[in-house]
Amino acid sequence: MDTDEMTLLRALRAEAPTPDRLSLAEGRQRLTEATGRRRRPRPDWRLTAVATTAAVALATVLGTQLMGGEQGVQPGARTIDMTELGSAAPLLRDAAAEVADDPVPRPRVGQWVYTKELEIREQADGPGEERGGPRETEHWYRYADPEFENGKSGDDHSARERFRFLADLPSDPVEVRKLARAFYPSEDEPVARHDFRALSMLAMSWPADPKGLAAVYRAMATVPGVRAVRTQDALGRPVIGIRFPGRPGLLLLDAVTFRYAGSGGMYSPVGDGADAVMKTALVGREGERP
């Protein structure tokens, strides 16, 4: 999805003090093997899977609730259930198998990528900016924008460039990680963290070639220590949060489609800085809504 890439960067790089945490038993979820046909998990993500140890359910009381109102969202009190799933590797491999056979988009030069998101900001951005709290935002980006291609804007790539990059990815996870690092370079990040950040940015791409997205998920599954949690996003939808060890940011994947759903924090998945994708579409011109 072509969205504000800095949103995820803020979540992935945010520093936060480590609160007291329950001692979580080590374990990983063993997913049901594919039976030769495509499977879709239930919307509430009650997978027919067996964990090697019991998952620990965490109830986090947060300062944001989404309720009906004139603007569609209002602040309130909300309890979010979060379940530690252990290693993200089996889940990401399952996600890759699910998305690989999705229909291939056919975006065209001249189209615009439209995105609508719900953003959570506890405070106003600054003098003269919008107030803090939940707010809906809309963005339009040219699908094919030469100003954001061929290195003209560093690692800020157009939707077309990202679509083509995904479509050309090989199947080897090691090579995918290498190519992802080159596409989103870094000067001083440890390799594994760089891998996760670059692959996360690619996972946000829309429109996305499905086989390329599957290759990204398989590569992410090989990043050491990557963990998964089951939780909800800022819209109350069931999502799977993927995180790098020692970092509070969550890459949120829709629990049904396995596509990018937004971002949030490990200790406040719908708190300050969180965002949830409401709609994505290709439109004919800037300002047009689907």
How far apart, in Å, do the first and last CA atoms of the chain sit?
A: 15
Helix (H) or strand (E) holding 77: none
Angle, alpha carbons 178-181-187 (nearest 5°):
130
- The identity of residue 241, as a single letter, is G
- The pair phi, psi for residue 43, each rounded to 5°, is -55, -30
SS3 content of the chain, % helix, strand, coil (to 5): 25, 25, 50
Structure tokens at 70: 């004139």
What are 44-53's pLDDT values in tens digits?
333 323 232 2
C-alpha span between 66 and 270 (Å, rounded): 10
C-alpha span between 16 and 24 (Å, rounded): 20
Q: Around Cβ 33, how many Cβ atoms within 10 Å?
A: 7
Structure tokens at 82: 């979060």
Angle, alpha carbons 39-40-45 (nearest 5°):
130
- Write the DSSP symbol of residue 56: P
Per-residue CA distances from 70 to 17, 73, 131, 136 (Å): 36, 8, 16, 13
Strands annotated E in 13-143: 29-30, 50-51, 57-62, 78-87, 112-121, 133-142
- The identity of residue 141, as a single letter, is Y
C-alpha span between 214 and 220 (Å, rounded): 10
Using DSSP's 3-state secondary structure scheme, residue 52 falls into coil
Walk along the chain (290 residues) and give the pLDDT tens digit of each residue: 444 544 444 444 444 443 332 233 233 333 232 323 334 433 333 332 323 223 333 344 343 333 333 334 443 345 577 899 999 999 999 999 999 999 999 999 999 999 999 998 876 555 555 566 788 999 999 999 999 998 887 778 999 999 999 999 999 999 999 999 999 999 889 999 999 999 999 999 999 999 999 999 999 999 999 999 999 999 999 999 999 999 889 999 999 999 999 999 876 667 788 999 999 999 999 999 99
Q: Are 133 and 122 a contacting pair, CB within 8 Å?
A: yes
Per-residue CA distances from 152 to 111, 147, 161 (Å): 21, 6, 12
What are 12-64's pLDDT values in tens digits?
444 444 333 223 323 333 323 232 333 443 333 333 232 322 333 334 434 33
Q: Are 198 and 180 a contacting pair, CB within 8 Å?
A: yes
Please spell the DSSP secondary structure of 173-208, one letter per residue: HHHHHHHHHHHS--SS--HHHHHHHHHHHHHT-SS-
Which position has the token pair 């989404």?
Answer: 66
